[in-house]
Structure 1
């Protein structure tokens, strides 16, 4: 069901982009241009998303000699999940968080902050890394990069149309779109794109939590880690570009009830409750790696 919802939301996001192009550039030509721009942005996000995300957080690659314990943990979980060993990065910040990136499992990277290494005991850190490897396995890193890129392109196109509208760049002949319709479009399209993008992100987080529980056989470890990470974020938020927040395991900044609708992640309490429910249903969790996700 979550996979279907993700595909549906991505399709809706692409349709919104093409519709915006149709309205603002003009008719079928605008729709064709929209399809071309969507393809180009998707290609760019597919190829460069990992480099951009790692650079945004100033993540530094670490060798096996520099972090032997971390390497052993990632290697053990990767083997269990039948995944290639990802590149490992450490983000030099005391804030506690983690993320995965890369266009596919063969080009994946897992990044953890120095803060999360210092904060979590081994079983909880292992659960966090299992969550990130679940994102890699399900190719969520690519899905989220594509969603973010299309949403950004929609916002950019709407901004350009807004400038044209206010400064008289739009043609005023009978075939031109209604200025009021254009104004509503450029106002509402970016909001709709953001809501859709965040819906995709929240859906994939629940799926990755379930994958981590299956991979480690210890749902409570991830539940405990999420509690610690939320408390830590209230005291020491994760610095960095907000555009990359959907990649993180928890929100970079603490959220209140009113801001939840625009949150990149489900509420921590909702995630914990699902994990504890999985713990009660442990029969079937200890299975060959990710077999239930295939």
Structure 2
């Protein structure tokens, strides 16, 4: 069901890009330009999303000799997940957070901050690594990159629409050959908002799956639940500094609202995530699948 919802949201996002291209340029030409722009941005994100995300947070590669425990943990969980061990990066920040990036498991990277390594216990950190590896296994990192680039293209087109609406208004309503200035203005205002809500909905859909995957990889849902509690408090006190467009990649953000506010959150509420993890723990205990030998 989550996969279907994600595909549906991506399709809606792509359709929004094509629609705003139609409103700005009009006719078949606008549709074609929207499709071409989507293809170009998606191709760029497919090849370079990992490098861009790592650079956005100043992540640096860290070798086994520098962090033997982290590397052993990453390798162990990767073997359980049946994927190659991703490259490991450290973010020189006291903020506690982590993310994964890369177009597929063969080109993946996991990044953790200095703050999260110092804050969490070994079991809690293992839960975080399992969460990020599940994103890699599920190819969520590519999905988020595609969503981010389409959203960025929509924002650029919306900026163009603002200028086009000013030009259409200047020509006057008697010029029926130009685009409708009201339609252009609505596209310029509403399209980026809609794109942002869709991007965030995609991210929220994938976070629950990654939490469940971490529980399966580690056999310890409660450890991740404990980590999320600590991380939520830390994120409010000391949010990580970086490009906001990459916030959906992070394991936690400083704002996860309830109700209407949740539309503008990149993550589900931490309380909901913890509740699901504890429910999963009970299920795993009941079936005897809560530990690894």
The answer, yes or no, to whether TM exceeds 0.5 is yes
Residue 177 of structure 1, CA deviation: 3.0
The question of 1:79 aligning with 2:79 is answered yes
* Mapping 1:226-245, distance limit 5 Å: 226-245=228-247
CA distance in 2 between counterparts of 1:261 and 1:147 reads 16
Number of matched residues?
Answer: 288
Judge which range, 278-287 or 239-248, deviates more: 278-287
- What is residue 157 of structure 2 aligned with on the other side? 157
Partner in structure 2 of residue 286 of structure 1: 289
Deviation at 1:235, TM superposition (A): 1.7
Post-superposition shift, 1:284?
5.3
Indicate yes or no: 2:266 matched with 1:261.
no
User: Distance between the aligned counterparts of 1:170 and 1:24, measured in 2?
Assistant: 16
Shift in Å, 1:175: 3.8
SS in 1 for 2:239: coil
Partner deviation per Cα, 1:175-208 (whole Å, 9 max, x = no partner)? 4332111111111111111000000000000110
Correspondence for 2:273: 271
8 Å contact from structure 1 (residues 220, 279) kept in 2? yes
Of residues 203, 206, 216, the one that matches 2:205 is: 203
* Contact 1:164/1:170 (8 A) holds in 2: no
Aligned partners of 1:288 and 1:255: how far apart in 2?
31
Corresponding residue for residue 51 of structure 1:
51
**2:166 aligned with 1:177:** no
| Distance (whole Å) between structure 2 residues aligned to residue 287 and residue 190 of structure 1 | 43
Tell me the distance in 2 between the aligned counterparts of 1:259 and 1:60.
34
Q: Deviations over 1:84-142 (max 9, x none)?
A: 01000000011000000000000000000000000000000000000000000000000
Q: TM-score, normalised by structure 2?
A: 0.94
Question: Deviation at 1:171?
Answer: 6.7
- Matches of 1:288 and 1:28, distance apart in 2: 58
Q: Does 1:25 align with 2:25?
A: yes
After TM superposition, give the deviation of residue 166 of structure 1 in Å: 1.9
Gaps of 5+ in 1: 290-294
Choose the corresponding residue for 1:249, options 251, 254, 272.
251
**Cα pair distance change 1:82/1:30, threshold 3 Å:** same
